[in-house]
């Protein structure tokens, strides 16, 4: 069991609800060092209006057009551990797959109908 910010105990239902995956869109702070301090993190959040921190894709958008899909596995503080990394990687991969499938369906080439002869190749418009 855990405690809420006001010090009261959380219920099992509240714990299960808090563990459900969510998708958040927003600004992510990116840098070349691991964030290890909660005080530093908590100061940057309101200053920069960020919802998360990452370091793996730092600066890539300076070289190529990029969309970064991240999944959280820690709180960017001194309590880091590897416990949630596998889950985070799987959820980011699933989100990436969904985005690519949607993108592909919107950008797929026109096809010649099958009743137009025996030519079953894709034709680019």
Residue 124 above 50 pLDDT?
Answer: no
pLDDT band per the 50, 70, 90 thresholds, residue 120:
very low
Q: Is residue 5 part of a domain?
A: no
Q: How many other C-beta atoms can be found within 10 angstroms of the C-beta atom of residue 35?
A: 20
The total number of structural domains that make up the chain: 1
In a domain, 32, yes or no: yes
Over range 33-42, report the average pLDDT: 83
**Domain around 84:** 23-107
Summarize the confidence of residues 28-34 as an average pLDDT.
Answer: 81
Q: Is residue 61 part of a domain?
A: yes
Residue 97's pLDDT band (boundaries 50, 70, 90)? very high
Residue 53 lies in a domain: yes
CA-to-CA dists, residue 36 to 27, 46, 74, 87, 122, angstroms: 19, 18, 10, 21, 52
- Residue 38 counted as domain residue: yes
- At 49 the pLDDT is 93
């Amino acid at each position: 069991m855990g405690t809420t910010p006001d010090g009261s105990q959380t219920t099992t239902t509240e714990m299960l609800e808090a563990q459900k995956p969510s998708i958040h869109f927003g600004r992510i702070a990116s840098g070349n060092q691991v964030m290890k301090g909660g005080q530093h993190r908590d100061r940057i959040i309101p200053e920069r209006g960020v919802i998360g921190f990452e370091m793996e894709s730092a600066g890539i958008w300076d070289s190529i057009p990029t969309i970064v899909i991240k999944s959280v596995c820690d709180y960017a503080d001194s309590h880091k551990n590897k416990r949630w990394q596998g889950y985070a990687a799987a959820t980011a991969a699933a989100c990436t797959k969904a985005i690519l499938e949607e993108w592909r369906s919107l950008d797929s080439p026109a096809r010649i109908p099958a009743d137009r002869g025996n030519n079953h190749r894709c034709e680019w418009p």
